[in-house]
Amino acid sequence: MRTIDPARTGMTVRRRGRSVSAPASPGGRATLAPWHRPRLDPDLAEERWLQLAGYRAVAGVDEVGRGCLAGPVVAAAVILPHGWIPRDVRDSKLLPAKDRERIAAEIRAHAVAWGVGIVEPALIDRMNILQATILASQLAVAHLSVRPDALLLDSLEIAHLSIRQRALVGADRLCASVAAASVVAKVARDALMDAYDLTFPGYGFARNRGYAAPEHRAAIVDRGPTSIHRRTFIEAYVSGGGGVGSTGDTDDPAAEDGATGG
For 145-188, write each residue's pLDDT tens digit: 999 999 999 988 998 888 999 999 999 999 999 999 999 999 99
CA 125/CA 120 separation, integer angstroms: 9
pLDDT band at 36 (very low <50, low <70, confident <90, very high): low
In this prediction, residue 38 carries a pLDDT of 55
Confidence of residue 258 (pLDDT cuts 50, 70, 90): very low
Say what the pLDDT of residue 27 is: 43
pLDDT of res. 40: 75
Q: Would the pLDDT of 260 be above 50? A: no
Side chain identity at 32, as an amino acid letter?
L
Please report the pLDDT score of residue 177 as a whole number.
98
pLDDT at 25 (0 to 100): 37
Domain 41-194 bears CATH identifier 3.40.47.10: no
Q: Left (φ > 0), alpha (ψ -120 to 50) or beta: where does 71 sit?
A: left
List the chain domain ranges.
41-194, 203-257
Estimate to the nearest angstrom the gap between the alpha carbon of 42 and the chain centroid. Answer: 14
Please tell me the distance from the alpha carbon of residue 108 to that of residue 30, in angstroms, as a whole number. 38
Q: Looking at per-residue confidence, does 207 or 17 come out higher? A: 207
For 39-55, letters b (16+ CB in 10 Å) and e give eeebebebbebbbbbeb
Identify the pLDDT of residue 199: 98
Please tell me the predicted confidence (pLDDT) of residue 241: 55
DSSP string, the chain: --B--HHHHSS--BPP--SB-SSPPTTSPPPBPGGGS--SS-BSHHHHHHHHTT--SEEEEEEE-TT-SBS-EEEEEEEPPTT---TT---GGGS-HHHHHHHHHHHHHH-SEEEEEEE-HHHHHHH-HHHHHHHHHHHHHHT-SS--SEEEEES-PPTT--SEEEEETTGGGTBHHHHHHHHHHHHHHHHHHHHHHHHSTTS-HHHHTTS--HHHHHHHHHH---TTB-HHHHHHHHHTT--TTS-PPPSSTTGGGTS---
pLDDT band at 63 (very low <50, low <70, confident <90, very high): very high
Would you say 135 and 126 are in contact if contact means Cβ atoms under 8 Å apart?
Answer: no
* pLDDT, tens only, 66-76: 999 999 999 99
Average pLDDT over residues 29-58: 79
